[in-house]
Structures are given as C-alpha cells and as structure tokens.
Amino acid sequence: MRKTRVFGQLMGVQGMVIGDVTMQPDPDGDGEVLVVSVRPDARSAGRCAQCRRSCPGYDAGVGTRRWRTVDTGTTRTFLEAAAPRVQCPDHGVLVAHVPWARPGAKCTYLLEDTCAWLAKNMALTAVTVFLRLSWRTVAAIVARVVQDLTGKTDQLDGLTRIGIDEISYRKGHRYLTCVVDHDTGRLVWAHEGRNKDTLTLFFDALGPTRSALLTHVSADGAEWIHAVVREKAPQAAICLDPFHVVMWATKALDKVRRRTLEHAGDRDRNARWAVVKNPDDLTADQRQSLATIRTTNTALYRAYLLKEQLRAVFATQGRRGEQLLGGWIAWARRSRLPEFVALARTIKRFQQLIWNTLHKHGVSNARSEATNTHIRALTKRAYGYHSPEALIAMAMLTRGGLELELPGRK
C-alpha cells in the first residue's frame, strides 16, 4: 500500500486527495509536526462552503491553510491545502468548501467530532489535556458541532409537558431561560435573558400549532413566565416545580436558623446541615444535632418539621396531597415563625398552581430536575464561559439528547 493511500485511509475523508506527507518544524514549539498536503477532489472542489453549489473561482484567498486533525500516534498532525475563494450568487465571495472541515473551522471534522464526543462523555479538563486544545477552542468546537446537529432535527417536536426555568450563569444577574421536556428530561431550548421577550422567542420557535399541544408547563413563581404561558398556551395547566417550592421552605428555615442561633458558633454549622439536608442523608453527628435542637431550640425544630412536611406534600401527590397542603398552610400560619407565616401567604397565593403540580399524573420531575442541576453545575465550573452561547452549546451537547457518534464507528 502506498503511503498516500495509507494516510487517505487514516484521515477517513470522502472527496479528499492526499499529496505529500512530511515532518515539519512545530510552529508553536520545539519538535516536529506531521503535515499532510491535501486538496478536494474534482467533484468537491470549487463549491460554496455554505450551500455547496459549484461556483466560479474568485481568487487564491490568503494562500495555504492548515487544519489541525487528530494526532498520528503521539505527533500533532495537520492537513494543509490551498484555500481559494469562490463567488456564490447567494453567499458572495467566500473561501471554497473543503470536505474535511466545517466552514471557518481551524480543525477537521475528525478532530471536532471526536472533541465533542469526549466533551459530552468526560471531564472537560481531561479533554483539553488529551487533545492539546485550549478550553476556549473546545468551547468553540462544541458550539459548531451542536449547531450542525440541532440543524438536522427539530428539538421542539412532540412536546406536551415542559418546564421553564431561569438559571443564573454569571455574577451580576446574567440569566438563561431554559426549557426542559419533562417526558424525556432533555433540554430542548435555551436563550440568554429572563423576561417576557426571551420566553416569547421560544413560543415563536414552537409556533401556534405545537403550543396548542402543551398540556402542562411548570415553572417557579415568576409572574413573567406565567403571563407568557397564559397568552401563548392558554390551555396548558401552569404548575409550580416542587423543587422551587421546597427551596423556598429551605430558605425560610435558614432564616429561622440564623435568627435563633446567632451566637452559637460551631454548633450552628452542624445545625445548618442537620436541618437543611433530607433526613435520609444525615450523618450520625447531624442526627444527634437534630435531637439536641428538638429540645433546645423549639422554634428551629418547628421550622424543620414544616420544611419536611412540605416535601411530604409533593411526595404524596393527588387529592391527598391537596389535603396535606391545606393542612400545611394552616399550620405554617399559626407557627409563630414570621418566615413561615410569610411563606404560607406565598403558597396560598400559588395554591392552584401547586394543585396542578399534584395532579400532573405520572410525570416524575426527577429527570428534568437532574438536567436543571446539571446546567447549574456547568455554570459553576471554573473555565469561565466567554459567552452565553458557549454555555448553551455545552448544555445542549450534554443534556439536549443530540445523536453524536465517534467518527468512523458504526
């Protein structure tokens, strides 16, 4: 087998002709890199990179270009080719299509698709080390691959029960609005911003026919979400997500703890976890701490019981859940804990929406909550997303249910 055929096989690209294969000095450091000279074959040459139409040539562009591809063994490897420009009647003057890379990309399909698959399946730090790419390059690759994949299927088809959520992605009140399919747990849509205009963009993309098929829309207590849903999908029951409601109770509990344990120091830290965590997750020390609170701080213990009882409402569901909720509101109102008296007012105001949640038959929130937690975790990672688009692309890649295969695998 000739060397060029071997490399043709290795690169796995249709429509590419291999020329010279040489070792050359590494432009970014010591050592050498492998450079494979390539060109598009007669059928793929001279086409517009956007629409693939055969177009008249324009000029030679900026000369020779290199595209990073996957390593050959341990050696960094590049494809090198002329990059002439063509003139497309629709897209104007632009660099001609090459069969080995996406338009504008500095890496090949092979490297980009491998990178995206790894980013979906392993820690990003490991991906950057393994592929010798910066975090910023990985983020740009993920954005391109996701755009390619989401263009192929409509993520918004078949939605009936969705959750709408706002997620803070950076300090200084920068938010994303995310839409999750409750039935599959998939993230189906996300956009920067959190207001009526942002959410209206989602319903515009969904369109009136599919909006009319929505039966349940869950959200937190944000009125702007409710208002848009009432307008665009009036038939859908608006539900309050249980984890938001339980979070309100946890916050109220935290206020009671700070108010009643102001000077207790270390004991306070123990107490915090003892009352905030779910009973099943408590350590032996925390159980002891809880037992102490029961006798020494009856206010905090009462607050703890109220939080746990509210969790029980959602665990119970249905008609019985409704009754428990009524009992909870009455109990919280006369709890003599101002934090829970206030929460009782809020919950009373949203009672109908919570009833809707309690009757959302057979839908578990587990998967959509997991997606939510995952996106929140993404926003907390230290890499620093340079743009909301990069974060959205990563979230779509890992939680959007996109079909992504390793290149060359069947």
Residues 161-200 that bind Zn ion (CB under 5 A): none
Note whether 90 binds Zn ion by CB under 5 A.
Answer: yes
Beta-bridge partner residues of 58: none
CB nearer to Zn ion: give 46 or 401. 46
Closer residue to Zn ion, CB minimum distance, 49 or 402: 49
Q: Is 94 in the site for Zn ion (CB under 5 A)?
A: no
Q: Which residue is nearest to Zn ion (CB)?
A: 48
- Rule CB under 5 A: say whether 233 interacts with Zn ion: no
Q: Of 66, 91, 106, 359, which lies in the binding site for Zn ion, with binding defined by CB under 5 A?
A: 91
Distance, in Å, from the CA atom of 86 to the CA atom of 105, rounded to the nearest integer, reads: 17
In the complex, minimum distance from the CB of residue 94 to Zn ion, in angstroms, rounded to a whole number: 8
- Quick check: helix, strand or coil at residue 213? coil
**68: which strand partners?**
78, 107
Q: Output the smallest distance, CB 91 to Zn ion, in A.
A: 4
Residue 88 makes contact with Zn ion by CB under 5 A: yes
| The residue type at 191 | H
51 binds Zn ion (CB under 5 A): yes
Q: How far is the CB of 92 from Zn ion (least distance, A)?
A: 8
The interface with Zn ion within residues 360-399 (CB under 5 A) comprises none
Q: Which two tokens stand for residue 393?
A: 């692309």
Shortest spacing between CB 96 and Zn ion, in angstroms:
10
Amino acid symbol at 274: A
Q: Token pair of 216, please?
A: 């349940």
> How many other β-carbons are positioned within 10 Å of the β-carbon of residue 195?
14
Residue choice 36, 45, 48, 225 for contact with Zn ion (CB under 5 A):
48
Q: Tell the burial category of 161 from Cβ atoms under 10 Å away from its Cβ (0-12, 13-18, 19+).
A: buried
Toward Zn ion, which CB reaches closer, 88 or 303? Answer: 88
Q: Which is nearer to Zn ion, 91 or 267 (CB)?
A: 91
- The strand order across the sheet containing 75-82 reads 16-25, 32-40, 75-82, 64-72
Tell how strand 216-219 and strand 187-192 pair up.
Answer: unpaired
Contacts of 73 (CB under 8 A, 6+ apart): none
Footprint of Zn ion (CB under 5 A): 48, 50-51, 88, 90-91
